[in-house]
């Protein structure tokens, strides 16, 4: 789809006062950057410009104190589960705080969530009624599945099939 068509579709979905408000936009990193710039030129429902995309990776890292992070990195090879759990908790804290403050957030940079296999259900449960989330997802749709980070190497990541409703997910053209 064209960027403008996606923005128009998002605006229609955002106008609904209640319900699940988790949206995803798929594309290459380049297409997502272009889309992000156009989205910020558009006006949200309250008349203000759409918010600048926030990096989830940065939000997680900013939530974990430096000394604690150093300790986690040192112990990661021996005990990866506590690190993954810590990343999950930091993500949920970042998401909750940001939504409470902003109401509508645009998120990018979700690589840490996939690298640590973090359960993404917090996105679904928190994105309801007054809290709205737009995810900028570097990925593509193929055979009914969403492949994240295509061409990034031998590891493959899929977006969980029930995370985002089909009519809340758009794919950009390059």
In the chain, where the domains are located: 3-161
Residue 136's H or E segment, with its range, is strand 132-142
Residue pair 43/81 in contact by the 8 Å Cβ criterion: no
Would you say the C-alpha torsion 7, 8, 9, 10 has a positive or negative sign?
Answer: positive
Number of alpha helices (DSSP H) and beta strands (DSSP E) in the chain = 7, 7
Query: How large is the average pLDDT for residues 38-67?
Result: 90
Query: How large is the average pLDDT for residues 115-141?
Result: 93
Specify the pLDDT at position 156: 77
pTM: 0.92
Q: Is pLDDT of 112 > 80?
A: yes
Specify the pLDDT at position 61: 92
């Amino acid at each position: 789809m064209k960027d403008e068509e996606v923005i128009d579709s998002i605006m229609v979905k955002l106008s609904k006062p209640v319900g699940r408000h988790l949206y995803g936009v798929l594309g290459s990193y380049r297409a997502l950057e272009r889309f992000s710039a156009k989205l910020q030129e558009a006006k949200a429902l309250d008349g203000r410009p759409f918010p600048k995309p926030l990096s989830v990776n940065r939000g997680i890292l900013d939530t974990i104190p430096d000394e604690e992070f150093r300790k986690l990195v040192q112990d990661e090879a021996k005990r990866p589960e506590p690190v993954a759990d810590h990343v999950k908790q930091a993500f949920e804290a970042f998401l909750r705080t940001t939504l409470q403050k902003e109401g509508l957030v645009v998120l990018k940079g979700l690589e840490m969530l996939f690298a640590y296999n973090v359960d993404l259900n917090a996105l679904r449960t928190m994105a309801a009624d007054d809290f709205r989330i737009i995810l900028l997802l570097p990925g593509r749709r193929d055979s009914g599945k969403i492949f994240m980070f295509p061409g990034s190497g031998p590891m493959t990541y899929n977006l969980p099939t029930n995370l985002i409703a089909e009519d809340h997910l758009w794919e950009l053209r390059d």
